[in-house]
Every structure is written in C-alpha cells, then in structure tokens.
Amino acid sequence: MNKQNLSAINANNIEKQVSLPSATSATDSDKKLEILKNINLTVNCGESIAIVGASGSGKSTLLGILAGLDLPTKGEMFFYGQPFHQLDEEQRAGVRRKDVGFIFQQFLLVPSLTALENVMLPAELSDDAEMRASAKSEAERWLQKVGLDHRLTHFPNQLSGGEQQRVAIARAFITKPKLLFADEPSANLDSDNGKLVENLLFELNQTAETTLILVTHNPELAKRCQRTVSLIGGTLVEETAPDKDPSDELADGTLDLDISEAIANAF
C-alpha cells in the first residue's frame, strides 16, 4: 500500500472548551471558552502539513491534541488507528515515547546536560532495550547529521540559538519517530539560522520518512509543506496545497500547555 494512503492522524469532530475562572460548575456553559470547533482532519503517513492562523486561533491547542499532550472536550482522535481519546495519560505517554518526536520553539534543552546527553535522553528513557543500549552512538550519529559533532560536550549556554535548535532536532529524531511535531521551530532564530534549521528539518523529514506536523506564522515555511491547514477562530476553514513539490527544496505561538508539564510528558 502506498505510504501516502495510510492515515497517521484522524481527528473527528474535535472540540475543545475550557472553563473561565468565573465558572462555578462544569455545566456552566455560559462561562466556557470554546477554543476548537468541529475539527475534522486526516494526516497521511509521510505527509508534511502546516497549521497556520493568527494568535489565539487555536492552532497550538490543536497541535497539543494531535500529539496526545491534551485531550479534546468532545470528538475522537486516532493515532495510527489507536484511539488516543480513550487512552489514559500513562498509555498516551507510552505511545509518545515510542512514536512521537517534539521540537519546541524555546528549544527546552536540559541546561545541566551536554549536547550529547540532551540528545541521548529520549533514547535512554525508551521502553526499547536495544535503543537504550545504543543511545550514545545514535546521539553521536544524529549530532553529526546536524553538523554538531564538534560540540558534543558543550552545555546549552555555550551554544548559539541555532545550535541549540539543531540539538533539539537531533533529540527529536533519535527515537526514529513515526510522527514529528514542531511548534514554530525557527521563530526564535535569526534569518540565517532559521533557514538552516528549516532546511535541516525538511531534509531529515524526507530522509527518515517521518510524518511532519508544524505550527507556524511564516507563510514561506508553510508553503514548503505538502498541505496547509488554516484555523480562524478555532474553526478549520481551509486546506490548500502549494504549487510545487516540497521535495524540490532543501521551515508567535507556543503549545498551550505548561512547559514543565510538556517536557515531562514528551518523553
């Protein structure tokens, strides 16, 4: 079967609501904020897709639900056929450790660990004994791939922003994830470093055949994806395809989750 015909993500009738501080009960519907409304989205294996929209449109909330870091208020979310909406947090964390990679715009490297140790971390926490055993050699290999084999023993505060993001990319790929999520992966970088990171992200995505879902405000970055999904006021309003094949090129918003909780849950 063609890889593109397989579903990595199926989101059906997804809604997300949060109670406002003035709400006195879970049924106080007048005091709930509706973030996502009736979202239906299918992402095929191997696809690259950009989620775009203004600040507050719900794109980072949607990314968190697709990644299993958050649950919808209503609707169904399937990850490679698994009903994420029916799994408890421990079960979802197990899926994330095995099959999901994350790239955050704030890098979220552990400051007390070297570049090598930061990249090794997800592999060392893996349920796969073979992956744990090869964590160091695989981390060295991925740091070489991102051009940082000369920076193995450097700590995050000794690295530039572009170097830190490349460490974060290597960390995301070390477990060979089926699906990679990136939240504004180049937003905190200067133009040159941003372009380098974007090129690297798509190159590794194509080489590893990993499905890529990213959030961005950058229209040029969105055009490099095979599809663009637009959110306006929490509603999916548009899906467009670029005029060219993204393989011909060698991409303000953060996850709506507490950062410490997200990094603890990510691995």
The span from the CA of 266 to the CA of 121, in Å, is 11
pTM for the structure as a whole? 0.79
Measured in residues, the chain has a length of 267
What is the token pair recorded at 210? 């990993």
The CA dihedral of 157, 162, 165, 170, to the nearest 10 degrees, is: -100
The span from the CA of 78 to the CA of 95, in Å, is 12
The span from the CA of 199 to the CA of 260, in Å, is 28
Please state the φ and ψ torsions of residue 82, each to the nearest 5 degrees: -80, 130
Domains, the chain, ordered by start:
46-71+89-266 (3.40.50.300)
The span from the CA of 197 to the CA of 104, in Å, is 13
What is the pLDDT tens value at each position of the chain, 267 positions in all? 444 457 999 999 999 998 877 655 555 556 788 899 999 999 999 899 999 988 878 888 898 899 888 889 999 999 998 898 899 888 988 888 889 998 888 889 999 999 999 999 999 998 889 999 999 999 999 999 888 999 999 999 999 999 999 999 999 999 989 999 999 888 888 888 888 888 888 887 888 888 999 999 888 999 999 999 999 888 887 665 545 444 444 434 444 444 334 434 444
Residue 21, judged by CB atoms within 10 A of its CB (0-12, 13-18, 19+), counts as exposed
Q: What is the pLDDT of residue 26?
A: 55
Q: What is the pLDDT of residue 239?
A: 61
- Three-state secondary-structure class, residue 89: helix
Closest CA to 49 of 231, 174, 187: 231
Please, what is the angle between helix 191-208 and helix 161-173, to 10°?
10
The span from the CA of 212 to the CA of 166, in Å, is 16
Q: What angle is formed at CA 74 by the lines to CA 73 and CA 77, rounded to 5 degrees?
A: 100
